[in-house]
Amino acid sequence: MKIRPTKGLTFDDVLLIPKRSPIASRREVDTSTFLTPAIRLHIPIISANMDTVTEARMAIAMARAGGIGILHRFMTIERQVHQVQEVKRAQGFIVENPYTIRPDATLEEAQKMLDTYHIGGLIVADENGRMVGILTQRDILLPTPDVTLVRQAMTPAERVVSASRGISFDEARRLLYEHRIEKLPVLDDDGRAVGLITARDLVKLERLPHITMDERGRLRVGAAIGVRESEMERAEALLEAGADVLVLDIAHGHADHCIAMLKRLRKRFPEAQIIAGNVASREGARDLAEAGADAVKVGIGPGSICTTRIVTGFGVPQLTAIMDSAEGIRESGRDIPIIADGGIRNSGDMVKALAAGASTVMIGSLFAGCEEAPGAPVLRDGQKVKVVRGMASLGAAMGRWAAEHAEDESAEDPVDWSKVVPEGVEAVVPYRGNVSEILYQLVGGLRSALSYGGAHNIRELQENAEFIEITPAGVRESGPHDVQRA
């Protein structure tokens, strides 16, 4: 047994000492960073792979804002793949392999597809995959009673303006404008629709220069996987669907089976970007870095819904965990980023995590109340709230069981739930509107912080960072005090 002589510190234990600043305006600073060495983000913020935080809708909003979302893994492989595809199709210069429908399908079937995939149009293709027309939401809005089939409502191919593979952004823009059309199918030499360009996507791309995009102009998205051998299949399917990064995510990432899985993934998918975690020590970060991780996720028990520290007695206060992990990564000789995961309540916490050595922060509860998080808001005591739950909570375990057995009507609940030892809680958080509003505040705080830190960017913030430990009196002084909140 040994006891470490230095104290473990977390966000509230410290402040950053202001530095002489060359920054005259918050506009001069650069908030960009790296998620992994190959993935650049405009803002250092990631939405957590929790089932009350990140599914496709949140991932889309995060990437559009310059961050990224990590899809949780507590769903079937098919559903997670579908979510990756939904993000990938949400935007891009060319939507590849657009959804198609047969001309003899009913309008009802077409509507169902439009709703399921949240899209505004379908390519109508014959049995050989050749485009015979296009069908948009407008075509089926108010059909007369005799119009029931796609063939009757579609715009036939001879009236459709199309493009061929290799069309440039500017050419597509010109064609869409010249013909005043919203959709431009991209056809191969045999007349098969291999892509779709939409006016909406081009406008979005032009208006949002800082979105997190892959080389094809599609939004980037990450997806979590587990550590079991069977998860190889999930990894392969996710990468195949276009996931930009995999997050090998288990509660105690500094474990032989996690390291072994990481090595297997690395070997099988040498080109893939793989994040691994969670760890909270120098050795943990070093071992994952040495095993081939492209970034290490740090945090054991700092999260708002975590009870790991109470249930097990293990954990490291988050600021110390980040600093120790940074040392471990240096020791490994690799230059890979740290993701500070959990416990971020405001922009100040984020800035401290970054200054301590993280390149990005992962956020759960703060985003769980957003419109884009899964689940609808409910009213509690007259206030709109949304549910957030730890992925190791009893509710999450029950939810997973229910989801796995959703199709199986005969399945009786065989689990003795009293035997589960949860390491997380379920809670509610205030409904917070769109995540872009929270991100605006977080990034605004970061910009201001860079100026206080005399830094043009996050790297300079880290180089200049000087923390000062504070007392409980200092904590009290740091918040609003001796006034009545309006």
Give SS3 for 422.
coil
* Contact status: 390 vs ligand XMP (CB under 6 A): yes
Single residue of 107, 288, 305, 455 touching ligand XMP by CB under 6 A: 305
C-alpha 442/C-alpha 349 separation (Å) is 10
Smallest distance, ligand XMP to C-beta of residue 168, A: 40
Contacts made by residues 76-79, CB under 8 angstroms, sequence distance 24+: 77/233, 77/234, 77/237, 77/238
Cis geometry, peptide bond prior to residue 278 (ω within 30 degrees of 0) = yes
Q: Which stretch binds ligand XMP (CB under 6 A): 283-291, 376-384, 386-394, 477-485?
A: 386-394
Q: Which residue is nearest to ligand XMP (CB)?
A: 424
Instruction: Residue 278: count other Cβ atoms within 10 Å of its Cβ.
Output: 28
The phi and psi torsions of 287 (rounded to 5 degrees) equal: -65, -40
C-alpha 337/C-alpha 84 separation (Å) is 23
Q: Which of 110, 187, 306, 336 is catalytic?
A: 306
Q: Which stretch binds ligand XMP (CB under 6 A): 12-20, 72-80, 123-131, 338-346?
A: 338-346
C-alpha 150/C-alpha 282 separation (Å) is 61
Smallest distance, ligand XMP to C-beta of residue 158, A: 53
Single residue of 284, 343, 357, 377 touching ligand XMP by CB under 6 A: 343
Q: In angstroms, what CA-CA distances link 196 with 94, 123, 134, 229?
A: 6, 9, 11, 37
Sheet with 155-156: list strands edge to edge: 100-101, 121-125, 131-136, 155-156
Smallest distance, ligand XMP to C-beta of residue 464, A: 26
* Contact status: 284 vs ligand XMP (CB under 6 A): no
Containing H/E element for 468? strand 467-469
Smallest distance, ligand XMP to C-beta of residue 259, A: 18
Single residue of 222, 342, 369, 453 touching ligand XMP by CB under 6 A: 342
Smallest distance, ligand XMP to C-beta of residue 373, A: 11
Cβ proximity to ligand XMP: between 184 and 373 the closer is 373
Active site residue 306: yes
Give SS3 for 71.
strand
Smallest distance, ligand XMP to C-beta of residue 320, A: 17
Smallest distance, ligand XMP to C-beta of residue 305, A: 6
Give, as ranges, the residues between 419 and 438 that touch ligand XMP (CB under 6 A): 423-424
The phi and psi torsions of 50 (rounded to 5 degrees) equal: -125, 150
Cβ proximity to ligand XMP: between 289 and 306 the closer is 306
C-alpha 215/C-alpha 70 separation (Å) is 19
Q: Which two tokens stand for residue 475?
A: 């904590």
Containing H/E element for 361? strand 360-363
Single residue of 393, 431, 450, 461 touching ligand XMP by CB under 6 A: 393
Single residue of 239, 306, 443, 455 touching ligand XMP by CB under 6 A: 306
* Contact status: 391 vs ligand XMP (CB under 6 A): yes
Q: Which stretch binds ligand XMP (CB under 6 A): 15-23, 24-32, 78-86, 357-365?
A: 357-365
Cβ proximity to ligand XMP: between 303 and 328 the closer is 303
Q: Kindly determine how many residues on this chain lie close enough to bind ligand XMP according to the rule CB under 6 A.
A: 25
Give the pairing of strands 222-225 and 193-198.
unpaired
Q: In angstroms, what CA-CA distances link 194 with 66, 135, 160, 188?
A: 28, 16, 15, 6
* Contact status: 52 vs ligand XMP (CB under 6 A): no
Smallest distance, ligand XMP to C-beta of residue 96, A: 31
C-alpha 350/C-alpha 344 separation (Å) is 6
Binding mask of the shown chain, residues 239 to 278, with x at each position contacting ligand XMP by CB under 6 A: ---------------------------------------x
* Contact status: 363 vs ligand XMP (CB under 6 A): yes
* Contact status: 222 vs ligand XMP (CB under 6 A): no
* Contact status: 195 vs ligand XMP (CB under 6 A): no
Query: What's the CA angle centered on 422, arms 420 and 424, to 5 degrees?
Result: 160
Binding site for ligand XMP (CB under 6 A): 48, 50, 278, 299, 301, 303-306, 308, 341-344, 362-366, 390-393, 423-424
Positions marked catalytic: 306
